[in-house]
Amino acid sequence: MGKVVGIDLGTTNSLVAHVVDGTPVVIRDASGDALLPSIVSVADDNTFFVGREAQRRLLTAPTRTVYSVKRFMGRGLSDVKDEAAHVPFTFAAGNGEALRINLGSHALTPPEISAFVLRELKHRAEEHFREAGEFDFEVDRAVITVPAYFNDAQRTATRDAGRLAGLEVLRIINEPTSASLAYGLGSKDRGTVAVYDLGGGTFDISILKIEDGVFQVLATNGDTHLGGDDVDQLLVARIVEALRAAGVAALSPEATQAVRKAAIQAKWDLSERESADLRVEPAPGLPQGFRQAITRAEFEALIQPLVDRTLGPCRQALTDAGLKPADVEEVVLVGGSTRIPLVRRAVEALFGRTPHSDLNPDEVVALGAAVQADILVSGRREMLLLDVTPLSLGLETMGGVVSKIILRNSTIPASGREMFTTAVDNQTAVDMHVLQGERELVSDCRSLARFRLRGIPPMPAGLARIEVVFQIDANGILSVGARELKTGVAQSIEVKPSYGLSDEDVEQMLIDSFEHAEADFDARLLIEARNEAESVVNATEKSLRLPEFPQVAAEEFEPGEQAKIETALAELKAALLGTDREIIQTRTLVLNHATQHLAEVVMNRTVKAALSGKNVSDV
Amino acid sequence: MTPEPTKAPTLIQCHSCGAGAPLREHFCPQCTNILQLSRHGDYFTYFGLPRRLSIDPADLEQRFRDLSRKFHPDFFYNGPAPDKLASLERSSYLNDAYRVLRSPAARAEYLLALEGLSPLKMEAGATGNVKVPAALLEEVFSLNEELDEIREARESGTPREQVVARLDAARTPIARKQDEHERLVEALSARWDADQSRTTLEALRECLLERTYLRNLLATIDREAATLATA
């Protein structure tokens, strides 16, 4: 058996973690990054890029680079019209089947694109285990997190992505509950906790009761299309408006991404400071770039409506849990967007207590997933997560009305039963339409699947008694079984998912992905070379900026040594603009060699300073 | 889920060692393997509780957590397929049972069904409308008349305060009746727990029906008040 990991497959960034001696740890890449940008890009020669490399290509190849694909998981073309307008990549004209995104000459479904991100994390973890000297370093199983408010189709799409990446998905767990596992670890805590999770693209609120190591979710609510992306979009709109006023009417895809990058940077800056610059780098069609100041007050006025949208779900979850805000004993913040001060203030005002965020809000979900993975494979029983289904499950009945079978916030696994009979003599099949949602009418709920119940023994109308069992498993995913009670005959059920992929689709995609494996391998080598090169560049630039550097150079350098370093640095940076792996690797070696002496000198001085400091204090 | 009224078997056969186990067991007393879920048990037996209407919520919750820890699918991940299925079905049944037993209203309705009394669905009269429970006929007639008059008054432009006052006045006797029913339900529940007599249960059923009807009446009044507030 290989290794198991926990994966947070995020809208903006993804992470992988595992448990070492009972403690969950995030696995970092060679340059020390925990976050893998959930971005996939393809070059003209069909080379795929994932993560930082793909992120760079947002600016240079925006139409061939896909980000925020999580927002499109388990959805249909008609659902995404509004969002499609904001992204530079395009959608393949579908005929009602699974949604596909154009990526170079490929048209890929969101699960296939997510699988690239998952494969990258799998590889990262395998490298980590290999370097740690593990004999069996293959990662073959994972727990993957999803927003609590994800519906059945979105969960199934996530599980498909895992399968496509060559992972057995042990469990799909909800992000806020996953975070609570990481928080509750090792503590003998009990009490009522609210987890407020505002990520890149999704918002969740979960209310939990923790006692005896059982983490029981009382209620959950949320919005699967509300997050940091929407904040960025408001800032982008503000810049676009200003540019329009300045006479720039249409933006090139490259300029659009430059604008988006500026928006994100300003958002980050405004979490730390009272004012910031919206600063767009020059791009094709925007040679001068753009610059405008924005204050935190202006920013907050802009995003207030978004923050307010999170409060309704919070109140609903409290009502469903039968609690008042004051009953909540602890509030935990999860997700990068909870760094925004206005968000923190809104949460504090609603619950009347200071929320805490002792753990890194970016990492805590992955840590919890690793804990759950460990529970599953080790059989540890000290902790148990009891989650709920976020949405009611129902069947279409006469007149387009939904009859509820399993109510929202039911603890999972949960089951519901419904009796059917036949309407005409010798009828052998019954059709069913399963929906998810809280509204009364079919047209207002989410269609999950249509089922045809076959093989009913011929008998007079109304005599057959068919019991259909709807089973939601611990992943929050539905399965359906049926039995004719008179004869005891199990009925076969044909499933036609409304948005997802059929098992045959997934199988075919697995075959296709093996065919791409070689091209993927080359791409990976390039990415690793670049990452290595970048960490050397960063380290060198840091040394050159040290305040004591001029003194070091004057006292310790050979003639021409500084020039040699600077040349090697400039050449490596030039190579990084291209995609020639061998040149990058060679120049990395050259720079490494050129800076070896410098590194030793700096290290010696640091050690000396530390030792002399110690001597002085000892005297 | 309503239990099957037919004479049910009282043993479950262990799929691992073949021994028979009583319905209240979750694990085989012979070989300790998890047992398949029987289709003939009931929620009270499952929780190891007597068939009574008063249940201590804290005790119920503790039992729920203990049982969850015993057979949640998390702990059968590496087990053979029949054990995994048993764990899934037992956990689902446990969650359903807990949801029903922890709500006094759902618990009472479930118990009535277990004892073979018809469910608490509103019975339709000859016109297809919901039949008014006999004990409430008087209240319902006068309330409906009053509501009609209030609607007329509202539409003909009577000052809002007057309409609100009339609505409040109409609400008071219904709310009082509702309170009486709450106390009666409690008393009858306690009596059932002591005597388990059919007569008590039938009286309780009637009382629960009336209570549901009263709730619907109060909801109608509240809707009327809401219309007034937004008008």
Three-class HEC string of chain B:
CCCCCCCCCCEEECCCCCCEEECCCCECCCCCCECCCCCCCCHHHHCCCCCCCCCCHHHHHHHHHHHHHHHCHHHHCCCCHHHHHHHHHHHHHHHHHHHHHHCHHHHHHHHHHHCCCCCCCCCECCCCCECCCHHHHHHHHHHHHHHHHHHHHHHCCCCHHHHHHHHHHHHHHHHHHHHHHHHHHHHHHHHHHHHCCHHHHHHHHHHHHHHHHHHHHHHHHHHHHHHHHHC
Average pLDDT score over chain A:
86
- Residue A217 is classified by DSSP as E
Tell me the C-alpha distance between A550 and A602, whole Å: 12
Write the pLDDT tens digit of every residue in A414-460: 998 888 888 888 888 888 888 888 877 777 788 888 878 777 888 88
Q: Is B32 left (phi over 0), alpha (psi -120 to 50) or beta?
A: left
Q: Annotated catalytic residue: which of A29, A112, A197, A232?
A: A197
3-state secondary structure of A321: helix
Q: pLDDT confidence of A323, banded at 50, 70, 90?
A: very high
Nearest to A373 by CA among A1, A118, A7: A7
Ranges under pLDDT 50 in chain B? 1-6, 124-128
Closest-CA residue in chain B for A372?
A: B74
| Beta partners for residue A192, in sequence order | A209
Q: Check whether A5 has a pLDDT greater than 50.
A: yes
Residue percentage of chain A with pLDDT more than 90: 44
Comparing A86 with B80, the larger pLDDT belongs to: B80
3-state secondary structure of A225: coil
Q: Are A157 and A74 in contact (CB under 8 A)?
A: yes
Give the distance from CA A415 to its chain's centroid.
29
Indicate yes or no: CB of B88 within 8 angstroms of CB of A381: no
| The model's pTM | 0.79
Write the pLDDT tens digit of every residue in B77-119: 888 988 999 999 999 999 999 999 998 888 988 998 898 887 6
Residue with tokens 């203030």: A345
Distance from CA of A471 to the nearest CA of B (A): 8
pLDDT confidence of residue B128: 44
Tell me the C-alpha distance between B42 and B3, whole Å: 7
CB pairs under 8 A between A and B: 54
Give the distance from CA A93 to its chain's centroid.
26
Distance (Å) of CA A241 to CA A81, A229, A235, A244, A259: 22, 18, 10, 5, 11
pLDDT confidence of residue A403: 84
Strands A490-497 and A478-484: antiparallel
Instruction: Tell me if residue A571 is catalytic.
Output: no
Indicate yes or no: CB of A375 within 8 angstroms of CB of B78: no
Q: Check whether A352 has a pLDDT greater than 60.
A: yes
Q: How many CB atoms lie within 10 A of CB A514?
A: 10
Distance from CA of A514 to the nearest CA of B (A): 29
Report the interhelical angle of A296-309 vs A311-321 (nearest 10°): 40
Tell me the C-alpha distance between A373 and A457, whole Å: 44
pLDDT confidence of residue A612: 65
Closest partner CB to B73 (pick from A211, A410, A413): A413
Report the interhelical angle of A152-164 vs A110-131 (nearest 10°): 50
Q: What are A508's two structure tokens?
A: 């075919």
Q: Which residue type is seen at A196?
A: Y
Comparing B3 with A371, the larger pLDDT belongs to: A371
Nearest to A447 by CA among A498, A394, A396: A498
Degrees (nearest 5) of the Cα angle A157, A158, A160?
A: 65
Test the A interface: residue of B96, B102, B103 with most A CBs within 10 Å: B96
- Residue A411 is classified by DSSP as B
ipTM above 0.90, yes or no: no
Distance from CA of A57 to the nearest CA of B (A): 42
Closest-CA residue in chain B for A417?
A: B1
Instruction: Tell me if residue A230 is catalytic.
Output: no
Listing DSSP states for A467-514 in one string gives EEEEEE-TTS-EEEEEEETTT-PEEEEEEEESSS--HHHHHHHHHHHH
pLDDT confidence of residue A204: 92
Test the B interface: residue of A177, A377, A378, A384 with most B CBs within 10 Å: A384
Distance from CA of B110 to the nearest CA of A (A): 15
Residues shown for chain B: 231
Residue B88 contacts by C-beta under 8 Å, 6 or more apart in sequence?
Answer: A413, A471, A473, A474, B73
Nearest to B83 by CA among B1, B17, B149: B17
Q: How many CB atoms lie within 10 A of CB B156?
A: 7
Q: How many CB atoms lie within 10 A of CB A23?
A: 12
Instruction: Tell me if residue A374 is catalytic.
Output: no
Give the distance from CA B11 to its chain's centroid.
28
pLDDT confidence of residue A616: 37
pLDDT confidence of residue B224: 80
Instruction: Tell me if residue A44 is catalytic.
Output: no
Q: Are A3 and A137 in contact (CB under 8 A)?
A: yes
Nearest to A325 by CA among A192, A474, A166, A163: A192
- Which secondary-structure segment (H or E) carries A342? helix A341-351
Indicate yes or no: CB of B77 within 8 angstroms of CB of A379: yes
Write the pLDDT tens digit of every residue in A126-153: 999 998 888 888 999 999 999 998 988 8
Tell me the C-alpha distance between A465 and A485, whole Å: 5
Distance (Å) of CA A204 to CA A138, A324, A568, B74: 33, 18, 49, 24
Indicate yes or no: CB of A376 within 8 angstroms of CB of B68: no
Q: What are A164's two structure tokens?
A: 């496509």
Q: Check whether A524 has a pLDDT greater than 80.
A: no
Phi, psi of B171 (to 5 degrees): -70, -35
Lowest mean pLDDT segment, chosen from A66-80, A87-101, B140-154: A87-101
Indicate yes or no: CB of A379 within 8 angstroms of CB of B89: no
Identify whether A361 is preceded by a cis peptide bond (ω within 30 of 0): no
Distance (Å) of CA A164 to CA A48, A158, A373: 16, 10, 19
Q: Are A464 and A429 in contact (CB under 8 A)?
A: no
Q: pLDDT confidence of A309, banded at 50, 70, 90?
A: very high
Report the interhelical angle of A549-556 vs A517-545 (nearest 10°): 90
3-state secondary structure of A124: helix
| Beta partners for residue A521, in sequence order | none
What residues in chain A have their Cβ under 8 A from chain B's Cβ atoms? 170-171, 211-212, 214, 216, 375-377, 379, 381, 384-386, 410-415, 417, 471, 473-474
pLDDT confidence of residue A247: 85
Q: Check whether A615 has a pLDDT greater than 60.
A: no
